[in-house]
């Protein structure tokens, strides 16, 4: 058995909207995501580190486990984790295009303090999220959109979810990605550059409080194997309490692809 580095799919590999497509079967993806968000109500920055492993069981089902660490308590400490699964249930492909639909679910636990109305089970709240995502690829342009239901629980053992906040929300995303370089492929070694623009919104179901963010992303793909994302998240609109809405992302992704000499 030989182990190789490698990853799949590019201009639809969004930072926020996980596309309806999957990574190759029998592969193991390793991702390290880092977030640095500016605190609104105090000085300084909120740093999050989220290492992640993704396993593709077969061509339709994938699993992902994530660990959450942050410096909200001044030192970098591990606060929780998350399990994610996605099932691709529809796929219609043509030459240089495809349309895919997938259903996904995530369960997270977190022990940090609850400090904002925004529900975010990626590194802030305990809870679950379930939804569907659609992805359309037309030549060099990918468009992906998702809708999901997200519910927050108490951040056990020390922090209950505040009674005056709504504890469930509807999330929606719309993402565009375009392959900018190369215009014509010559080899697998060429660096690819994708640019993306993602819109991310949430409405708290109880009270209608909402936000809408925009996330421009530059993505580099090296050697058709490794991926680097640089992004900036900016709040466009908000009617809810958020402690650190604006910040940057740095994402590094590899897939350890086990090629067994077999059928």
- Residues 196 and 170: their CA atoms lie apart, in Å, by 23
Task: Report helix, strand or coil for 154.
Answer: coil
Q: Should residue 163 be labelled a site residue for other proteins when binding is judged by CB under 8 A?
A: no
Q: Should residue 139 be labelled a site residue for other proteins when binding is judged by CB under 8 A?
A: yes
Look-up of token digits 């209950």: 160
Q: Which is nearer to other proteins, 22 or 173 (CB)?
A: 22
Q: Which is nearer to other proteins, 91 or 246 (CB)?
A: 91
Q: Which of 225, 238, 243, 246: binder of other proteins (CB under 8 A)?
A: 225
Q: Is the peptide bond before 29 cis (omega within 30 degrees of 0)?
A: no
- Residues 120 and 125: their CA atoms lie apart, in Å, by 6
Q: Should residue 10 be labelled a site residue for other proteins when binding is judged by CB under 8 A?
A: yes
Q: Should residue 85 be labelled a site residue for other proteins when binding is judged by CB under 8 A?
A: no
Under 8 Å between Cβ of 176 and 212 = no
Q: Which is nearer to other proteins, 42 or 263 (CB)?
A: 263
Task: Output the CA torsion 170→59→53→257 (10° steps).
Answer: -150
Residue 221 beta carbon to other proteins: minimum distance, rounded to whole angstroms: 6
Q: Should residue 84 be labelled a site residue for other proteins when binding is judged by CB under 8 A?
A: no
- Residues 156 and 109: their CA atoms lie apart, in Å, by 8
Instruction: Name all contacts of 65-70 with Cβ < 8 Å and 24+ positions apart.
Output: 66/108, 66/122, 68/108, 68/110, 68/122, 68/123, 70/46, 70/112, 70/123
Look-up of token digits 């793909």: 221
The number of residues that bind other proteins (CB under 8 A) is: 44
Q: Should residue 35 be labelled a site residue for other proteins when binding is judged by CB under 8 A?
A: no
Q: Should residue 136 be labelled a site residue for other proteins when binding is judged by CB under 8 A?
A: no
Q: Which of 35, 102, 122, 137: binder of other proteins (CB under 8 A)?
A: 137
Q: Should residue 81 be labelled a site residue for other proteins when binding is judged by CB under 8 A?
A: no
Q: Which is nearer to other proteins, 91 or 145 (CB)?
A: 91
Interface residues with other proteins (CB under 8 A) are 4, 6-11, 21-26, 58-59, 91-98, 137, 139-140, 179, 184-188, 190, 192, 221, 224-225, 227, 257, 259-263
């Amino acid at each position: 058995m030989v182990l190789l580095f490698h990853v799949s799919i590019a201009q639809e590999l969004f930072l926020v909207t996980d596309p309806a497509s999957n990574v190759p079967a029998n592969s193991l993806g390793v991702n390290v995501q880092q977030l640095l968000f500016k605190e609104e109500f105090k000085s300084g920055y909120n740093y999050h580190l989220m290492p992640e492993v993704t396993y593709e069981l077969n061509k339709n089902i994938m699993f992902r486990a994530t660990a959450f660490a942050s410096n909200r308590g001044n030192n970098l400490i591990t606060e929780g984790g998350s399990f994610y699964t996605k099932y691709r249930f529809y796929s219609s492909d043509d030459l240089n295009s495809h349309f895919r639909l997938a259903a996904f679910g995530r369960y997270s636990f977190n022990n940090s303090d609850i400090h904002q109305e925004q529900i975010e089970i990626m590194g802030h709240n305990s809870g679950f999220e379930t939804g569907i995502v659609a992805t359309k690829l037309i030549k060099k342009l990918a468009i992906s959109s998702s809708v999901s239901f997200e519910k927050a629980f108490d951040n056990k053992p020390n922090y209950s979810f505040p009674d005056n906040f709504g504890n469930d929300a509807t999330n929606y995303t719309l993402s565009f990605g375009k392959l900018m370089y190369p215009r014509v492929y010559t080899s697998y070694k060429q660096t690819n550059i994708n640019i993306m623009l993602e819109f991310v919104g949430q409405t708290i179901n109880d009270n209608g409080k909402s936000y809408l963010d925009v996330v421009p992303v530059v993505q580099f793909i090296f050697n058709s194997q490794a991926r680097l994302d640089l992004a900036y998240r900016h709040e466009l609109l908000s009617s809810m309490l958020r402690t650190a809405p604006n910040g940057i992302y740095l994402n590094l992704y590899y897939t350890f692809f086990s090629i067994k000499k077999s059928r």
